[in-house]
Structure 1
Amino acid sequence: MANSPTFLRLKGQNLVYAVVLCSSFGFLLFGYDLGFMGGLTTSPEFLNQFGNPNASLLGFLVSAYEVGAMIGAIAVFFVGDRVGRKPNNIAGAIIVAIGAAIQTSSYGVGQFLAGRLIAGFGLGMCTTVIPIWLAECAMPKNRGRMMAMQLSNLIMGLIIANWVDYGMSFYAGSIQWRFPCALQIVFCLIVCCFMPWLPESPRYLANVDRIGEATVSLAALRGDHMDAESIAMEMKEIQYAIAVEAEETGSWADVFKDGGVSGFTRVAIAFSANFFQQLSGVNVMSSLGPYIFQVSIGMSRYDALLVSGGLQIFYFLSSLIPWIVVDKAGRRRLFIIGSIGMGTCMTLSAIFVGIGTKGLGYAAAVVLYFFQTFFTLGWQSNMWIYPSELLPLKLRLRGGAVAVVSQWLWTFLVVEITPVMITNIGYKSYIVFAIINFVTVPFVSPLETCGLRQSANATASRQVYFFYPETSQLPLEAVDLLFADRQNGQRPSIRQVVKDSIDKAFMAEVHATLQERARYGAESGEVEKPKAMAEVENAATV
């Protein structure tokens, strides 16, 4: 039997870890940018260089990056499927480096803004593609943990940024802010040197009919031989999902259509997940931590930098918790826990800052530390993997791009308005974010969780309020079957999909159906509904 293929002499889980490590540098860039600009907003050298901007202009100097990132995600929406996951990511890293060089050499507001927009464009490309590449390479049983490990590197970027800002604050001259800008280039170089030697997504390769390369990539990622039965079965499952989707034309407009796979519904859910994450208020602390601690709570500049740096270390330690629980607890449960916890922390912050004593100001800082814990548990890695799991292969990149547009759109909004909110309404800013977090809960919460039991039949059906099906540990192709037509060609409602996703018996039949079709139908391209699926649907409606 031939040896199993390797990349960088790695295979199996070790190769998946290499993919996680490389792709995590893209998220480290994300975190670094969120962090280093927060320190610059209180740097006298930086502020003097750009004419001591008012709160609105200062907010835009920070948030222009998000505008560029949103445009970068839109670019991936239109052209991303023409090339692989890796080329998109490498191109994004190169563009970030160019933007960082422009920022570093800036002497005026216009040049600095141009650099922010260009670098943001590149990061928008990276953050669109990275979660998809990882989701398509990782194994279902630990896909969430791989994303959690990757997102910890985002926080490492925040830590590096905050302590670089703190260290550079003791230097006179423009190096105080130019060095933090330039450091972004180092991370871009690591991505560009490392990524070409790693495997391309086997699902992307299969989708563009490069089956041989897809098999090599999949076998290396699973640590098995190319002719192993398990590799052949997973390849057939992938081909079956592609065959199901191939009946549609596959244009960019499919994100606004049903497309036989509830395409628009799934894209809308992915968009809303990014909306709720950003409107939680997390980037208030990530992007503007020193500003918040100095202006809102009343600390000195150096104390604010120290407390903000400590916050990111605490944030990183908190991010280790999802490594253990994200694939065990499930996506929906963690969303709920995170939202309730963040809403509570924002409420307490509003009370402490509103009263305004020095002691309660420090208590507010402590509460904001715990806010980061609830965020990383519920809405960090959990949210970033969710759209990639939820979206069908045909729409995974374009739908993911729409979701990331939402990410950067709302990030821009929050970062842009926060300095103005803090200046004008003070402690009430925290009340706004608290309300949004509490409103989020019903969108993912089952009726039983909220204690709203109805009649016996209604309880048995386990209806949910709105949109979020469970995707934890499911093969990506099994998620497609959740949204597939049921009896008499009827499309299931989103409530029915969510109900079925937490029904263990139904999901066992879905797995059986997927294997049946993969074994007998993928090679012939037949995509009609198998008998097993019809039987489970009949049972589900009884």
Structure 2
Amino acid sequence: MSSKPPSFVGFTGQNLVYAVTFCCSVGFLLFGYDLGFMGGLTTSQPFLSTFGHVNASLLGFLVSSYEVGALFGAVSQFIVGDRYGRKTENIAGASIVIVGAIIQSTSFGLPQFLVGRLVAGFGLGIMTTVIPVWLTECAMPKSRGRMMAMQLSNLIMGLIIANWIDYGMSVHYTGSIQWRFPCALQIVFCIIVVCMTPFLPESPRYLCATDQLDQATYVLAALRNGQLDSPDVVEEMGEIRYAINVEMKESGSWSDVFHDGGISAFTRVAIAFAANFFQQLSGVNVMSSLGPYVFQNSVGMSTHEALIVSGGLQVFYFFSSLIPWLVVDRIGRRKLFMTGSIGMGVFMTLSAIFIGIGGTGLGVAATVVLYLFQTFFTLGWQSNMWVYPSELLPLKIRLRGGALAVVSQWLFTFLVVEITPPMITNIGFKSYIVFAIINFATVPVVYFCFPETSRRPLEVVDLLFADRQDGSRPSIFQVVRDSVNKDYVKSIESQLQERARSNKDNDAIVASEKEKALENLSVKMRSQL
């Protein structure tokens, strides 16, 4: 047997994980770009002229219609489930975005543009459901958060590209190309995803769940830089198969996400849904999708100033996003969630005060605190939130439960983007007070109801929700307490390893007995002949 571990396009081990991360990052760069480029178009005169200078409410819907499409894209993954695999669904999503981008960039009327936004959003909804699951299932426990942080930094890079493309087009062009080119640029990122994905490994957990065990072992060995029979590879495969066997004892269908199912399924889906809810209601998409509009209509800047400051905000946002690379897998999910919410609540409160009082000096101060708001968002809720549902949910419902969580993401993104322009128009600085209150209210919910999942094998998270020794099902409060108890976590890690070995031994015994039975049957048939 070759001494070299299995590989994909010459990559193995962490380098192969980085390759998967890069492909996922391009998908999330597209996500950021699509969130951001419409913000600049809301102040583009050629764009507004083409579509009849729509009012604030309809303008908000033009931006947020993308989120409606993405919501239905996520719902489609809830219905389809694990039928086609992570890679196939990612390619399908990118291909649909290409179609939507073509429709948008060739639009001459409002209905056509809305259809393009909905179609492209549908494709992105598929991608944002599948990508976090694919990356989480390929990455190693100790670096899952960092891989997701790298991916989410590219989301911000998409926002940066969108803002500066909008600015550059507004400065140098006066015709419809000023807005058509930003719409068409989506296609470039989709082509990269479609071309890269076929050459990368499928999720080993998905392959195990669909009885492709040989291929799953090959993929896992490549991702872990080991041989097919390496002890680490064999042990992790055993843990995955054990978790799958436990889950398969329960009936498997889409309705599992609404039941306990022996794995606290509904509780875990509800927490994943809540994580997306709190992220979107923090107010982050006010700045991501409508930055130029906010700086122009709330802070009082000119169109030119608003575009520059919004573009600068995204650059600052990107550099802030590098902080989680260093801390996300060290500090833990819960502490970062709470730290981020407290910081965002404080800076939203300050922005409300500064904008409410008004004046040039306080306008600058409001801009500064909105910049700092983005720092605490990326520290607490950006990469942290996107990895959390995939870590929390059991394999049997990981994609469907993740789809519902992403439905929450897009539903409340739509809500925030839709209501922000009329909110700013009608209640002004009080809009920011609403978001501040939500951020402060998030802290106790996380403290009592969000278990710690950082640096835990996915199968260990399953055992946190399992029945205790007395046969009782733990409450979510007990699960949270156990998840931060290092001694308890170590005990269930040992328990998982023992059960995986036992499961492997049982499989070997069953296989041996089947082989003996076949040999006896063969001998008996020969003797009869």
Task: Tell me which interval the TM-score lies in, with the shorter structure as reference length.
Answer: over 0.9
Task: Assess if the C-alpha contact under 8 Å between 1:243 and 1:522 holds in 2.
Answer: no
The amino acid that maps onto 1:470 is: E
1:394-427 alpha-carbon deviations (Å, 9 max, x no partner)? 0100000000000000000000000000000000
Aligned equivalents of 2:191, 2:404: Cα separation in 1: 27
Given that residues 279 and 410 in structure 1 are in contact (C-alpha distance below 8 angstroms), is that contact kept between their aligned partners in structure 2?
yes
How far did 1:148 drift?
0.2
Tell me which residue corresponds to 2:471.
Answer: 489
Q: Deviations over 1:298-333 (max 9, x none)?
A: 101011000000000000000000000000000000
CA distance in 1, matches of 2:506, 2:247: 15
Distance in 2, Cα, partners of 1:522 & 1:355: 68
Aligned to 1:312: 314
Give the aligned residue type for 1:32: Y
The one of 488, 492, 506 aligned to 2:488: 506
Instruction: Return the match for 2:424 from 416, 422, 425.
Output: 422
Letter in 2 for 1:495: F
1:454 is matched with none
For residues 460 and 469 of structure 2, the distance between their equivalents in structure 1, rounded to whole angstroms, comes to 18
Using the TM superposition, give the Cα deviation of residue 273 of structure 1 relative to its aligned residue in structure 2, in angstroms.
0.2
User: Is contact 1:467–1:494 with CA below 8 Å preserved after alignment?
Assistant: yes
* Long gaps (5+) in structure 1: 446-465, 527-542
Which aligned pairs between 1:267-282 and structure 2 lie closer than 5 A?
267-282=269-284
Coordinate RMSD, CA, aligned? 0.9
Instruction: For 2:285, give the aligned amino acid.
Output: N
Distance 1:523 1:137 in 2: 26
Tell me the residue number matched to 1:53: 54
Q: Who is 1:451 aligned against? A: none
Q: Is the 8 A contact 1:343 1:433 kept in 2?
A: yes
Q: Give the match for residue 334 of structure 1.
A: 336
SS of the equivalent of 2:80 reads helix
1:120 aligns with 2:121: yes
Counterpart for residue 406 of structure 2:
404
Q: Is the 8 A contact 1:482 1:497 kept in 2?
A: yes
Structure 1: which 4+ aligned runs deviate by more than 4 Å?
none
- In the TM superposition, residue 80 of structure 1 has moved relative to its aligned partner by 3.1
TM-score, structure 1 normalization: 0.93
Kindly provide the amino acid, as one letter, of the partner of residue 490 in structure 1: S
- SS of the aligned residue for 1:169 comes to helix
Q: Distance in 1 between matches of 2:168 and 2:486?
A: 53
Corresponding position of 1:28:
29
Cα deviation 1:185-211 (Å, max 9, x = unaligned): 000000000110000000000000000
- Extract unaligned runs of 5+ from structure 2: 509-529
Q: Superposition pairs for residues 97-496 of structure 1, below 5 Å?
A: 97-170=98-171, 171-445=173-447, 466-496=448-478
Question: Is 1:524 aligned with 2:506?
Answer: yes
Name the % identity: 72
Of the structure 1 ranges 196-205 and 220-229, higher mean CA displacement relative to structure 2 is found in: 220-229
Superposed displacement of residue 490, structure 1: 1.1
Kept after mapping to 2: 8 A contact 1:271/1:403: yes
Q: Secondary structure at the match of 2:308?
A: helix
Instruction: Specify the alignment match of 1:94 in structure 2.
Output: 95
Deviation at residue 487 of structure 1 after TM alignment:
2.7
The CA distance in 2 between the partners of 1:151 and 1:4, in whole Å, is 30
Q: Is the 8 A contact 1:240 1:525 kept in 2?
A: no
Q: Deviations over 1:472-498 (max 9, x none)?
A: 000000000000111332111101100
The amino acid that maps onto 1:512 is: S
Q: Deviations over 1:408-453 (max 9, x none)?
A: 00000000000000000000000000000000010112xxxxxxxx
* Code of the aligned partner of 1:4: P
Structure with higher Rg: it is: 2
The number of equivalent residue pairs is 506
* C-alpha distance in structure 1 between counterparts of 2:13 and 2:164, whole Å: 36
Deviation at 1:523, TM superposition (A): 5.6
Q: Deviations over 1:313-365 (max 9, x none)?
A: 00000000000000000000000000000000000000000001111011101
Indicate the SS of the match to 2:449.
coil
